[in-house]
Structure 1
Amino acid sequence: MNILKRRFFDYLISLGLDQNLANYINAFVFLLALLVVIFLIDFIIKKIIIQAFTQLSSRTKTNFDDLLVANKVPRNVAHIIPFIIALEFIPDIFEDFSDFEIIVEKGLQVFAIILTLWVVRSVLNTVKDYFKTLPRLRDKPIDSYIQVFMIFAWTVGVFSAIAIMTGIPFINFITGMGALSAIVLLVFKDTILGFVASIQVAINDMVRIGDWITVEKYGADGDVIEINLATVKVQNFDKTITTIPPYALISDSFKNWRGMSTSGGRRIKRSLIIKQSGVKYLSAEDVETLKKIQLLTDYLETRQGDIDSYNSSHQINKDVLINGRNLTNLGVFRKYIDSYLKSHSAVNKDMMIMARQLAPSTQGIPLEIYAFSSDKRWANYEYIMADIFDHLIAALPYFGLEVFELPSDSSFKQA
């Protein structure tokens, strides 16, 4: 290039141009020519590399190379060769302008840093997307780690660019920045806390992407869709998005429903409030009537036989029902609930099934049903639970029992 540049300079002088003007025109023409060549080479190399990567990715079984193309790694790598060409010939173009040469060289060095960051970012994004396709890493907070690497890379890049522009050696510049560490810690406080929290969350396996969590303090109740340094995004069941600081998962309490999702069933825990005035001993006629209920037939025959044998052997006076051993309508109803739940097709028989009586209150006697539905999907779970309680509420009158409820307007009108 020096030979061509010298000949063109001599040609300009032969045209009668001033030497300074000839130098400016000479530098401008060759700079323009170099830019055109660089853009052409960049365009051609970019096409070649992208096409080569695309063909290679279509022939391989792994999707890593597909992700390289999607994240523009070949496009960014293609800029390296034109940059090297510019770095080689720029000093020759500005050899007569030392001040401009220094400025341009510093600009190219800064661009080299930017180009390196582009390549690193695209590669890290590719690694992130690839890890998310792996089953054992899909629910891990990969975004947080990638963001940490990028923050570190950008920090080093910015410091290097400032060191180049100011002419201060990088080591001396970093040493001087140590005095500003307190400010840096203050600025990146949330990032540092988020990074530490994401590591603790990952190590302790507290939250995974896809988990259903409930964080009452932040009004979050839904599935975790993203975990990064700044936020944990939760898509609530009403399709709104709640963002939570990662360190809140460490410092505050929250509920993770993963245990339920991976178990054999979803818990049903709800009570019927029974009016106390309806509870009574069962006479022989009442027992015979209840024996017609198929789920209770065998139980009542066996149980009543044991009770009659006990009362007879102890010469109990049964003219008054309170004497001796007796069945109550509430006790028989509890047994009916237990038998009904064990025969229900949607209840998991391998998990706890219980109908228990809680402490009486001013409203009545709470009769709690405790069981697990086999189907854990929300809509199906609600349907199963409603089906069970529909049946039990309708069955109460057969046992002479009532559900407590506060009087309504119609109750006063009837009275």
Structure 2
Amino acid sequence: MTETALTLLPSLNPWMQAGIGLAGLLLLAYVVQAVAQYLLLHTVPRIRAHMDTRWARVVWHDKVLRRLARVVPSLVIQAGIGAVPQLDPVAFVVIRNLTVALTVLQLVRTLNALLDATLQEHAQAPGGAPTSTRSIKSYVQLGKLALTLVGAIVIVAALIDRSPLILLSGLGAMSAVLMLVFKDTILSFTAGLQLSSNDMLRVGDWIEMPQMGADGDVVDIALHTVKVQNWDKTITTIPTWRLMSESYRNWRGMSESGGRRIKRTLRLDAASVHFLDDADIERLARIALLAPYLQEKREAVHAANAALGPGAAAPANLRRLTNIGTFRAYVQAYLRAHPGIHQGMTLMVRTLEPTPEGVPLELYCFTATTAWVQYEAIQGDIFDHLIAVLPEFGLHLYQSPTGHDIRAGLRQQSLQ
């Protein structure tokens, strides 16, 4: 039957001969693609699983193999188009150019899939934060953009049957326009290089950028944008180049240090500040945290008063302990003994300049954890305790008069 078909073929109309030849060539291309796809998707994965290496998982990724198989039909048509009988020369040139353009298109898609596989392998690679937090997504996107541009130039050149160098020379004359069109891309790529080379930003960093409304964790670093998931779970998208042209705060140093700062003040009522008498000192000496301090201070006060001589018996001339100073020493000792406070970092309790709102007593220390929930719990426990223990020292928090205070004062005045 094949010999009969070959015998009858020359007797057919030239257009029919060309049509049958093209149909046979398309059928052959389809069969070859099916065979190539079967071999690539069924044989290569077994070899990949046996090797179990990173480069094999990237180069022989299923998506890469699937797109590589789609390159085969256009190659078969290019190789066999010359064997189609009675094909018009114009049709030959058009079909050849179309298949070349299709081949370039499928090769660009295959290389893009290879870049995607590289990005996926990098994101899933073991090795901890140094590997997983430095994103290569911007480089992958830039590579895909460059491949797309080059592929588009070659495809257009193939379709119009001209050399790609002619189009490239035309693009050179349009450099000013291209610079304007790709201005954000160029700025973002340059900023991305600086951010990466100087290790200024990683995926997972907590950053604050008030001018952009960003306050949260960096979840994605791409070529053109950086995505920040705020604490209310909203997403703020920041142009990459703005991270180099504007300031922002990165809290990575705090996270890596192992301690998170507490800097808060207790505003004490100045009217409650007074000297301690002997009964107060004896009562406060029973507090274990204060016993060493009071013992040392009593000895120092007695020595200083004895040095003044018998003529300085007036209270104004004598050194005496104050309740606010003793409370400051208690807070210092309390923080030193607290298991939630980092003892290897700065720890300080100081009295600031008095204000119309009272005498500020500032605590400056660091917790032993950087987790937000645990940090707030430790800070809350500390200030709950300090506020509750203030009356033991005869101190009171400063508080503006409330409606209840005014009513109580008026009621007491009316009773008098």
TM-score after normalising by structure 2: 0.92
SS at 2:174 equivalent: helix
The 5 A counterparts of 1:192-341 are 192-315=186-309, 320-341=314-335
The answer to whether 1:163 aligns with 2:154 is no
Evaluate the alpha carbon distance shift between residue 312 and residue 126 of structure 1 in structure 2; reply closer, same or farther with a 3 A threshold: same
Query: Where in structure 2 are there 5+ consecutive unaligned residues?
Result: 410-416
SS at 2:236 equivalent: strand
In the alignment, is the contact (CA less than 8 A) between 1:140 and 1:208 conserved in 2?
Answer: yes
Evaluate the alpha carbon distance shift between residue 147 and residue 164 of structure 1 in structure 2; reply closer, same or farther with a 3 A threshold: same
The answer to whether 1:44 aligns with 2:38 is no
Once the two structures are TM-superposed, the CA of residue 113 in structure 1 deviates from its matched residue by: 1.1
In the other structure, the counterpart of 2:413 is none
In the other structure, the counterpart of 1:10 is 10
Once the two structures are TM-superposed, the CA of residue 317 in structure 1 deviates from its matched residue by: 6.6
Which residue identity is paired with 1:165? L
Once the two structures are TM-superposed, the CA of residue 11 in structure 1 deviates from its matched residue by: 4.1
SS at 1:122 equivalent: helix
Evaluate the alpha carbon distance shift between residue 307 and residue 102 of structure 1 in structure 2; reply closer, same or farther with a 3 A threshold: same
Query: Where in structure 1 are there 5+ consecutive unaligned residues?
Result: 13-21
In the other structure, the counterpart of 2:49 is 58
Q: What is the CA–CA distance in structure 1 between the aligned matches of 2:62 and 2:384, rounded to whole Å?
A: 55
Which residue identity is paired with 1:85? V
Alignment RMSD: 2.0
The answer to whether 1:344 aligns with 2:333 is no
Evaluate the alpha carbon distance shift between residue 103 and residue 399 of structure 1 in structure 2; reply closer, same or farther with a 3 A threshold: same
In the alignment, is the contact (CA less than 8 A) between 1:358 and 1:366 conserved in 2?
Answer: yes
Once the two structures are TM-superposed, the CA of residue 274 in structure 1 deviates from its matched residue by: 1.0
Q: What is the CA–CA distance in structure 2 between the aligned matches of 1:172 and 1:316, rounded to whole Å?
A: 108
Evaluate the alpha carbon distance shift between residue 108 and residue 379 of structure 1 in structure 2; reply closer, same or farther with a 3 A threshold: same
Once the two structures are TM-superposed, the CA of residue 172 in structure 1 deviates from its matched residue by: 2.0
SS at 1:232 equivalent: strand
SS at 1:72 equivalent: helix
Which residue identity is paired with 1:59? H
Q: What is the CA–CA distance in structure 2 between the aligned matches of 1:393 and 1:316, rounded to whole Å?
A: 41
The answer to whether 1:24 aligns with 2:18 is no
Q: More displaced, 206-215 or 130-139?
A: 130-139
In the other structure, the counterpart of 2:412 is none
In the alignment, is the contact (CA less than 8 A) between 1:283 and 1:321 conserved in 2?
Answer: no
Q: More displaced, 50-59 or 239-248?
A: 50-59
How many residues get paired? 404
Once the two structures are TM-superposed, the CA of residue 71 in structure 1 deviates from its matched residue by: 5.4
Q: More displaced, 153-162 or 53-62?
A: 53-62
Once the two structures are TM-superposed, the CA of residue 96 in structure 1 deviates from its matched residue by: 2.8
Q: What is the CA–CA distance in structure 2 between the aligned matches of 1:28 and 1:166, rounded to whole Å?
A: 24
In the other structure, the counterpart of 1:113 is 104
Q: More displaced, 356-365 or 3-12?
A: 3-12
In the alignment, is the contact (CA less than 8 A) between 1:73 and 1:122 conserved in 2?
Answer: yes
The 5 A counterparts of 1:97-112 are 97-112=88-103
TM-score after normalising by structure 1: 0.92
